[in-house]
């Protein structure tokens, strides 16, 4: 049976304000509050609310319908503050039992390409947040913009996830189809779900384009394309951003009506729906080797939109040069700013690739780079000040010591767990066996020889005295 795996990302760009060189050391607030509030309210009204209301109604009307979401931590914070109605709708959809929430890096950043410890820390924070908000810890992971390589896959498996979604990039798949379940080449425990680029982008990119040969696209035609995929290719992964509905594709294009029609048409053609976690329980057909970075962005499906020029790499390397110091600092304000500065859009604004138009408040990629580096310069000074003026060598030594202690504790925890399992193997009931007490045989005590002699001698002395 063919199954549609439907997943949507929810992330909100954090807009930084104009920050001059002369603000460094004087102004530690980096955000354009007006633009942040305006943009998220606009997106919530035009996209998130109507889209989620439609998905909620689909869950109520079609018990077999299923949908998955992932939220970035920085986006979630803004939604809670400026548009809590979006969170309410997500909770209501979750209450139907027909939604699954995935995990992603808290900042929607690029830590997976730079610092393993920072990446793991972000993932844990986001996993804890999802568990707290929606009542269940996620078991499937999606990286920022579906960034993936074999090394990242192995780390994600080590963090306890059973599956990960990524891009069905041609340079990776070759002749293979994205309609099967694969596994990570570096760690077979991690199952991989690969996005069907064409069927996904028919909705997210081309739906309202009048110069497209398939325009207008009706739901029955799109579902027929799924039904007509070759026999055995039963996993159809449709991944996109929730802003597809209302922002990337205007509501006037009837895209919500298109979405609402899919469950009934799929049912008529014997097509079901599945959560990512359900698909990851199945057996994979083989490994997919991804020795270099892939993503779902641009034609190249790589990381060049964030790290493709000298400016971007300079900003990226400068930011993550202090990653360890931020992680062990424990300062909440520093952590909040760190999350915002990591967000991938900060590097996307600096791209010089043709075709990218939206740059927020910036006039050019060079303008974006200058503004970001001014903010980063102030932020780095604040981080270093937390360590009382210690030089880099002393700070790095302290961080290394803390890391080594953490590694030792983790190793001890693993050893304790190994011994606990070994104990359970030999004593599965967990009860301590009580051995019968040894029977003690009582023996009659005899007086020491010296004492017995003295008792016999004493009466003789008395008798001698009387005789005299």
pLDDT confidence of residue 455? 42
Q: Which two tokens stand for residue 184?
A: 């990570």
Mean pLDDT of 356-373: 91
For residue 163, give the 3-state DSSP assignment.
Answer: strand
**Residue 174 pLDDT > 90, yes or no?**
yes
Sequential DSSP letters for 184-248: ESS-TTSEEEEE-HHHHHHHHTSTT-TTSTTPSPPHHHHHHHHHTSPTT--EEEEEEEGGGBTTT
**What end-to-end distance do the CA atoms of the chain give, in Å?**
126
CA distances from 220 to 262, 263, 269, 430 (A): 8, 11, 10, 59
pLDDT confidence of residue 410? 63
Give the model's confidence band at 464: pLDDT under 50 very low, under 70 low, under 90 confident, else very high.
Answer: very low
The 10 Å Cβ neighbour count of residue 209 is 13
Please answer whether residues 294 and 178 qualify as being in contact, where contact means their C-beta atoms are separated by less than 8 angstroms: no
Q: Bigger pLDDT: 2 or 405?
A: 2
The 10 Å Cβ neighbour count of residue 443 is 6
The 10 Å Cβ neighbour count of residue 433 is 6
Please answer whether residues 247 and 205 qualify as being in contact, where contact means their C-beta atoms are separated by less than 8 angstroms: no
pLDDT confidence of residue 281? 96
Mean pLDDT of 75-95: 97
**Residue 431 pLDDT > 80, yes or no?**
no
Q: Mean pLDDT for the chain?
A: 89
What's the rounded Cα separation, in Å, for the pair 221 and 225?
6
The 10 Å Cβ neighbour count of residue 74 is 22
List CB contacts of 405: < 8 A, sequence separation 6 or more: none
> For residue 392, how far is the Cα from the chain centroid?
31
Which of 20-24, 193-197, 262-266, 429-433 is the least confident region? 429-433
Please answer whether residues 120 and 160 qualify as being in contact, where contact means their C-beta atoms are separated by less than 8 angstroms: no
Q: Bigger pLDDT: 354 or 340?
A: 340
**Residue 451 pLDDT > 60, yes or no?**
no
Mean pLDDT of 77-106: 97
The 10 Å Cβ neighbour count of residue 330 is 9
Of 98, 5, 111, 7, which is closest to residue 58 (Cα–Cα)? 98
pLDDT confidence of residue 446? 46
Q: Is 213 exposed, middle or buried (0-12, 13-18, 19+ CB in 10 A)?
A: exposed
Backbone angles phi, psi at 166, to 5 degrees: -155, -170
pLDDT digits (tens, 9 = 90+) for 114-152: 999 999 999 999 999 999 999 999 999 999 999 999 999
**Residue 171 pLDDT > 50, yes or no?**
yes
């Amino acid at each position: 049976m063919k199954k549609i795996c439907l997943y949507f990302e929810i992330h909100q760009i954090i807009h930084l304000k104009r920050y001059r060189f002369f603000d460094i050391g004087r102004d530690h607030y980096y955000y354009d509050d007006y633009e942040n509030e305006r943009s998220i309210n606009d997106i919530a009204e035009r996209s998130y609310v109507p889209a989620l209301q439609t998905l909620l109604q689909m869950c109520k009307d079609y018990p077999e319908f299923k949908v998955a979401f992932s939220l970035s931590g920085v986006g979630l914070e803004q939604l809670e503050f400026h548009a809590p109605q979006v969170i309410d709708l997500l909770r209501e959809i979750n209450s139907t039992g027909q939604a699954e929430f995935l995990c992603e890096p808290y900042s929607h950043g690029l830590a997976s390409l730079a610092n393993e410890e920072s990446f793991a820390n972000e993932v844990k924070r986001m996993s804890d947040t999802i568990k707290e908000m929606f009542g269940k810890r996620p078991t499937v992971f999606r990286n920022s913009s579906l960034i993936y390589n074999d090394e990242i896959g192995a780390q994600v498996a080590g963090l306890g996830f059973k599956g990960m979604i990524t891009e069905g990039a041609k340079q990776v798949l070759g002749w293979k189809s994205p309609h099967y379940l694969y596994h990570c080449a570096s760690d077979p425990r991690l199952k991989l779900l690969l996005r069907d680029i064409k069927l996904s982008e028919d909705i997210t990119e081309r739906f309202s384009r009048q110069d497209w040969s398939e325009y207008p696209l009706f739901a029955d035609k799109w579902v027929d394309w799924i039904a007509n995929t070759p026999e055995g290719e039963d996993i159809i992964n449709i991944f996109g951003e929730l802003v597809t509905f209302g922002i990337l594709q205007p509501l006037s294009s009837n895209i919500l009506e298109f979405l609402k029609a899919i469950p009934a048409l799929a049912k008529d053609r014997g097509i079901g729906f599945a959560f990512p976690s359900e698909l990851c329980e199945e057996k994979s057909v083989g490994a997919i080797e991804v020795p270099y970075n892939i993503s779902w962005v641009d034609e190249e499906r790589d990381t060049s939109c964030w790290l493709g020029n000298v400016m971007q790499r300079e900003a990226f390397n400068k930011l993550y040069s202090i990653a360890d110091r931020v992680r062990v600092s424990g300062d909440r304000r520093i952590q909040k700013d760190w999350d915002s500065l990591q967000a991938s859009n900060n590097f996307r604004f600096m791209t010089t690739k043709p075709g990218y138009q939206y740059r927020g408040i910036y006039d050019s990629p060079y303008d974006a780079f200058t503004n970001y580096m001014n903010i980063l310069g102030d932020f780095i000074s604040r981080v270093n000040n937390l360590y009382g003026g210690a030089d880099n060598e002393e700070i790095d030594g302290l961080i290394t010591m803390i890391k080594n202690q953490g590694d030792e504790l983790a190793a001890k925890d693993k050893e304790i767990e190994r011994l606990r399992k070994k104990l359970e193997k030999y004593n599965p009931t967990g009860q301590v066996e009580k051995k019968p007490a040894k029977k003690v045989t009582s023996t009659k005590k005899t007086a020491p020889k010296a004492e017995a002699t003295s008792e016999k001698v004493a009466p003789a002395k008395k008798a001698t005295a009387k005789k005299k």
